[in-house]
Protein backbone atom coordinates (compact mmCIF):
# COMPACT_ATOMS: atom_id res chain seq x y z
CA UNK A 1 0.00 0.00 0.00
CA UNK A 2 1.24 3.47 -0.84
CA UNK A 3 2.72 5.42 2.05
CA UNK A 4 0.31 8.34 1.71
CA UNK A 5 -2.58 6.02 2.64
CA UNK A 6 -0.80 4.93 5.82
CA UNK A 7 -0.18 8.50 7.04
CA UNK A 8 -3.51 8.87 8.91
CA UNK A 9 -2.30 6.15 11.31
CA UNK A 10 1.15 7.57 12.01
CA UNK A 11 0.00 10.41 14.28
CA UNK A 12 0.43 9.71 17.98
CA UNK A 13 -3.08 10.69 19.02
CA UNK A 14 -4.98 9.10 16.15
CA UNK A 15 -8.49 7.90 17.00
CA UNK A 16 -9.81 4.97 15.03
CA UNK A 17 -13.54 4.58 15.83
CA UNK A 18 -13.77 0.90 14.90
CA UNK A 19 -10.58 -0.81 16.07
CA UNK A 20 -7.12 -0.05 17.43
CA UNK A 21 -5.18 2.20 15.06
CA UNK A 22 -2.03 0.09 15.41
CA UNK A 23 -3.94 -3.05 14.37
CA UNK A 24 -5.46 -1.26 11.38
CA UNK A 25 -2.04 0.03 10.33
CA UNK A 26 -0.52 -3.45 10.60
CA UNK A 27 -3.33 -4.88 8.46
CA UNK A 28 -3.00 -2.14 5.84
CA UNK A 29 0.77 -2.71 5.61
CA UNK A 30 0.12 -6.38 4.82
CA UNK A 31 -1.93 -5.50 1.71
CA UNK A 32 -0.68 -5.88 -1.83
CA UNK A 33 -2.19 -3.83 -4.66
CA UNK A 34 -4.10 -6.89 -5.86
CA UNK A 35 -5.51 -7.52 -2.38
CA UNK A 36 -6.61 -3.88 -2.14
CA UNK A 37 -8.61 -4.37 -5.34
CA UNK A 38 -10.21 -7.50 -3.89
CA UNK A 39 -11.17 -5.90 -0.58
CA UNK A 40 -12.04 -2.59 -2.19
CA UNK A 41 -14.10 0.09 -0.49
CA UNK A 42 -14.44 -2.00 2.68
CA UNK A 43 -11.08 -0.60 3.77
CA UNK A 44 -12.66 2.78 4.61
CA UNK A 45 -13.92 1.24 7.84
CA UNK A 46 -10.34 1.26 9.11
CA UNK A 47 -9.64 4.93 8.50
CA UNK A 48 -9.97 7.26 11.50
CA UNK A 49 -10.96 10.22 9.35
CA UNK A 50 -14.22 8.64 8.21
CA UNK A 51 -16.89 7.77 10.78
CA UNK A 52 -19.45 5.13 9.76
CA UNK A 53 -22.18 7.60 8.83
CA UNK A 54 -19.88 9.20 6.21
CA UNK A 55 -18.74 5.95 4.63
CA UNK A 56 -21.88 5.42 2.57
CA UNK A 57 -21.72 9.03 1.37
CA UNK A 58 -18.38 8.59 -0.41
CA UNK A 59 -19.95 7.88 -3.76
CA UNK A 60 -23.65 7.45 -3.18
CA UNK A 61 -24.89 10.56 -1.32
CA UNK A 62 -22.20 13.20 -1.31
CA UNK A 63 -22.59 16.26 0.88
CA UNK A 64 -20.63 19.50 0.77
CA UNK A 65 -19.40 19.35 4.38
CA UNK A 66 -17.19 16.29 3.79
CA UNK A 67 -13.80 16.37 2.04
CA UNK A 68 -13.75 13.42 -0.38
CA UNK A 69 -10.29 14.01 -1.88
CA UNK A 70 -8.62 11.22 0.13
CA UNK A 71 -11.27 8.67 -0.90
CA UNK A 72 -11.25 9.84 -4.52
CA UNK A 73 -7.47 9.53 -4.77
CA UNK A 74 -7.56 6.11 -3.13
CA UNK A 75 -10.18 4.87 -5.60
CA UNK A 76 -8.32 6.31 -8.57
CA UNK A 77 -4.93 4.90 -7.52
CA UNK A 78 -6.27 1.37 -7.03
CA UNK A 79 -8.99 1.31 -9.70
CA UNK A 80 -11.86 0.86 -7.24
CA UNK A 81 -15.50 1.44 -8.20
CA UNK A 82 -17.16 4.76 -7.34
CA UNK A 83 -19.99 2.99 -5.59
CA UNK A 84 -20.12 1.93 -1.95
CA UNK A 85 -22.36 -1.14 -1.76
CA UNK A 86 -23.94 -3.25 0.95
CA UNK A 87 -21.27 -5.87 0.24
CA UNK A 88 -18.57 -3.28 1.06
CA UNK A 89 -20.45 -2.48 4.25
CA UNK A 90 -20.72 -6.13 5.29
CA UNK A 91 -17.06 -6.79 4.51
CA UNK A 92 -15.94 -3.64 6.32
CA UNK A 93 -17.89 -4.57 9.44
CA UNK A 94 -16.51 -8.11 9.25
CA UNK A 95 -12.97 -6.78 8.85
CA UNK A 96 -13.34 -4.68 12.00
CA UNK A 97 -14.75 -7.65 13.96
CA UNK A 98 -11.95 -9.91 12.78
CA UNK A 99 -9.30 -7.31 13.68
CA UNK A 100 -10.77 -6.99 17.17
CA UNK A 101 -10.67 -10.78 17.58
CA UNK A 102 -7.21 -11.14 16.01
CA UNK A 103 -5.08 -7.96 16.07
CA UNK A 104 -2.40 -9.73 13.99
CA UNK A 105 -4.82 -10.41 11.11
CA UNK A 106 -3.23 -10.26 7.66
CA UNK A 107 -4.84 -9.43 4.34
CA UNK A 108 -4.35 -13.01 3.13
CA UNK A 109 -6.20 -14.39 6.17
CA UNK A 110 -9.06 -11.92 5.71
CA UNK A 111 -9.41 -12.75 2.03
CA UNK A 112 -9.33 -16.49 2.68
CA UNK A 113 -12.00 -16.19 5.39
CA UNK A 114 -14.34 -13.61 3.90
CA UNK A 115 -13.87 -12.86 0.24
CA UNK A 116 -13.06 -16.32 -1.05
CA UNK A 117 -16.04 -17.83 0.74
CA UNK A 118 -18.17 -20.71 -0.41
CA UNK A 119 -21.96 -20.95 -0.45
CA UNK A 120 -22.18 -22.55 2.99
CA UNK A 121 -19.82 -20.19 4.78
CA UNK A 122 -20.54 -18.17 7.88
CA UNK A 123 -20.43 -14.89 5.92
CA UNK A 124 -23.09 -16.05 3.45
CA UNK A 125 -25.32 -17.02 6.38
CA UNK A 126 -24.72 -13.65 8.04
CA UNK A 127 -25.41 -11.82 4.79
CA UNK A 128 -28.63 -13.76 4.16
CA UNK A 129 -29.73 -13.09 7.73
CA UNK A 130 -29.00 -9.38 7.28
CA UNK A 131 -30.97 -9.20 4.01
CA UNK A 132 -33.92 -11.10 5.48
CA UNK A 133 -34.39 -8.37 8.07
CA UNK A 134 -34.85 -5.60 5.51
CA UNK A 135 -38.23 -5.16 3.79
CA UNK A 136 -37.79 -5.91 0.07
CA UNK A 137 -39.06 -2.49 -0.97
CA UNK A 138 -36.24 -0.86 1.05
CA UNK A 139 -33.45 -2.98 -0.47
CA UNK A 140 -31.33 -1.51 -3.24
CA UNK A 141 -31.59 -3.27 -6.61
CA UNK A 142 -28.23 -4.90 -5.92
CA UNK A 143 -29.31 -6.12 -2.48
CA UNK A 144 -32.59 -7.44 -3.85
CA UNK A 145 -30.82 -9.39 -6.62
CA UNK A 146 -28.44 -10.85 -4.06
CA UNK A 147 -31.35 -11.73 -1.77
CA UNK A 148 -33.20 -13.46 -4.65
CA UNK A 149 -30.14 -15.58 -5.43
CA UNK A 150 -29.63 -16.55 -1.79
CA UNK A 151 -33.36 -17.30 -1.34
CA UNK A 152 -33.35 -19.51 -4.45
CA UNK A 153 -30.28 -21.40 -3.17
CA UNK A 154 -32.15 -22.05 0.07
CA UNK A 155 -35.26 -23.25 -1.79
CA UNK A 156 -37.44 -20.32 -0.75
CA UNK A 157 -40.17 -18.87 -2.99
CA UNK A 158 -39.28 -15.95 -5.24
CA UNK A 159 -39.40 -12.78 -3.09
CA UNK A 160 -41.89 -10.01 -3.90
CA UNK A 161 -39.97 -6.83 -4.80
CA UNK A 162 -42.73 -4.53 -3.51
CA UNK A 163 -43.19 -6.21 -0.15
CA UNK A 164 -43.17 -3.81 2.79
CA UNK A 165 -43.12 -6.65 5.31
CA UNK A 166 -39.81 -7.95 6.58
CA UNK A 167 -39.46 -11.29 4.75
CA UNK A 168 -38.72 -13.31 7.90
CA UNK A 169 -41.81 -15.47 7.35
CA UNK A 170 -40.64 -16.80 3.97
CA UNK A 171 -39.98 -20.52 4.06
CA UNK A 172 -39.64 -21.08 7.80
The conformation of residue 156, written as its DSSP 8-state character, comes to P
Tally the C-alpha atoms within 13 A of residue 76's C-alpha that lie toward its C-beta: 6
- Domain boundaries of the chain, sorted by first residue: 1-116, 118-172
pLDDT, mean of residues 75-104: 83
3 CB contacts (<8 Å, ≥6 apart)?
A: none
Summary mean pLDDT of the chain: 75
Can you give the pTM of this predicted structure?
0.58
Which whole-number Å values give the CA distances from 56 to 17, 38, 82, 90, 108, in the listed order? 16, 19, 11, 12, 25
pLDDT tens by residue, 3-61: 887 777 766 545 566 677 788 888 888 888 888 888 887 887 777 655 444 555 555 55
CB 109 within 8 A of CB 27: no
Confidence category of residue 118, pLDDT binned at 50, 70, 90: very low
- Closest-CA residue to 126 (of 159, 93, 100, 83): 93
Residue 135 near residue 167, CB atoms below 8 Å: yes
pLDDT at 164: 84
Amino acid sequence: MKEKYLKPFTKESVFCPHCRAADALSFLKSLSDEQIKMIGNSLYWLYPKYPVDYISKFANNRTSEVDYSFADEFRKDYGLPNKYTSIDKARGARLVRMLKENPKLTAAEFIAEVISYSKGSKLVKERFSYLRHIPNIHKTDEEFKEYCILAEEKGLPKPDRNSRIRPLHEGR
